[in-house]
Amino acid sequence: MHFTQDLELFPNCSVTLLLFKEVQNAAELRKKAMEGLINGALIKPTMIVDAFQVVVATNKAVHLQKLGKLKTRTLYSEIIFNLSPTNNISEAFKKIGISDGDSSVLIVLINEKDINVDRITSQVDGIQIHIDNLQTMADTSTIRKLFKITPQEEKIGTLLDAIVCRLSTKDVC
């Protein structure tokens, strides 16, 4: 059900994505995450169109962490920051990070063995669903507005292509 991707450039580094619906305790989860009690990034699934963009953001975060050049305080907050179209950190948390009223959550874990995955899963008061559901959960009109995707851009590629290109070039554009 969950999705795992190895990062080729970082040996022994793998990313795991967990998706939940009908989440009742989003506020509690967000508080725990802010206090550093959850070793994962908690993201609004409605702002994600595909697991790939999360992997791209994670790869960039791990790369910067190894260089000691994180722009935010932790690896997990960096993933959330990387998923945002702007360089404003608090805006990233507001738009991409989980909010108190959310009924779904996407959790990103790095290098977690199954035992830890279970520990995190048990903290979520919701139903875990297959990662493929991300496509249907995406709020594409809000995403298009936030990322300022042009109509001509979607003629030459997918919405995912447009997003990924922005995420990877954010620092110089």
Partner 1 sequence: MHKLRNNIMIHPPFDSNSASRRPDGVNGCRYSTGYYLQLIKQGAEARVYRGRFLGKAAIIKERFPKRYRHPTLDDKLTHRRTAQEVRSILRCRKAGISAPVVYFVDYTSNSIFLEEIEDSVTVRDYINSVLCSGENAEKLIDLANCIGQILSKMHNEDVIHGDLTTSNMLLRDSAKTGCQSLVLIDFGLSYISALPEDKGVDLYVLEKAFLSTHPNTEHVFEALLKSYTTSSKKSLPVIKKLNEVRLRGRKRSMVG
Stretch that binds partner 1, among 18-26, 58-66, 85-93, 103-111 (CB under 8 A): 58-66
Q: Give 155's contacts (C-beta < 8 A, 6+ positions apart).
A: none
Length of the chain equals 173
Stretch that binds partner 1, among 3-11, 26-34, 91-99, 125-133 (CB under 8 A): 3-11
Is 157 among the residues that bind partner 1 (CB under 8 A)?
Answer: yes
> Using alpha carbons only, how large is the chain's radius of gyration in Å?
15
Stretch that binds partner 1, among 16-24, 36-44, 53-61, 100-108 (CB under 8 A): 53-61
Query: Is residue 20 within 8 Å of residue 104, measured between CB atoms?
Result: yes
Dig out the tokens for 64 from the structure. 């910067």
Stretch that binds partner 1, among 73-81, 116-124, 128-136, 145-153 (CB under 8 A): 145-153
Is 91 among the residues that bind partner 1 (CB under 8 A)?
Answer: no
Q: How far is CA 140 from CA 1, 48, 95, in A?
A: 23, 9, 14
Is 10 among the residues that bind partner 1 (CB under 8 A)?
Answer: yes
Judged by phi (left if over 0) then psi (alpha if -120 to 50, else beta), residue 70 lies in beta
* Per-position DSSP letters for 53-94, written without gaps between them: HHHHHHHHHHHHHHHT--SSSSHHHHHHHHTSSSS-HHHHHH
Site for partner 1 in 60-79 (CB under 8 A): 60, 63, 66-67
For partner 1, the closer CB: 5 or 123? 5
Is 94 among the residues that bind partner 1 (CB under 8 A)?
Answer: no
Binding site for partner 1 (CB under 8 A): 5, 7-11, 52, 55-56, 59-60, 63, 66-67, 150, 152-153, 155-157, 161-162, 164-166, 168-169, 171-173
